[in-house]
Amino acid sequence: QVLAGVYPISQLQEPYSAVGYLASRLPLPQLLQLRPPSAPEGWTAWDICEAWAEKRGYKTARAARNDVYRAANSILRLAAEGRLRLCLRP
């Protein structure tokens, strides 16, 4: 529903599963040109969001950690705007 534009992205409490769904159907790390994670098991939705936050410079206000929530919203907005193309058969 989020990726189709039916449900507002700003209303999501947990956007990581939607990013995981998107990543299972698109090669997000290659499209976003992200650096590979240090973990040997590969990319997870959290890793993708963390790498995107690092690349875009999204930091939390107090601790200056990577703001993965903002990064997840950013990735979902890219998909909803059509900058990341996701086509599903009816």
What domain count does the chain have?
1
- Which ranges constitute the DSSP H helices of the chain? 16-25, 28-31, 45-56, 68-81
Domain presence at residue 86: no
Each residue's pLDDT, cut to its tens digit, for the chain (90 residues) gives: 788 788 899 889 999 999 999 999 999 999 999 988 877 788 999 999 999 999 999 999 999 999 999 999 999 999 988 888 877 777
Q: Which domain holds residue 26?
A: 9-81
Residue 34 Cα distances to 22, 53, 65, angstroms: 15, 10, 18
The SS3 of residue 66 is strand
Domain presence at residue 38: yes
Place of tokens 């939607």: 18
Domain presence at residue 2: no
Domain presence at residue 47: yes
Domain presence at residue 67: yes
DSSP state of 1: -
Q: Please give the model's pTM, rounded to 2 decimal places.
A: 0.90
Domain presence at residue 89: no
Domain presence at residue 4: no
Domain presence at residue 40: yes
Residue type, 68: V
Region label for 42, one of left (φ > 0), alpha (ψ between -120 and 50) or beta (otherwise): left
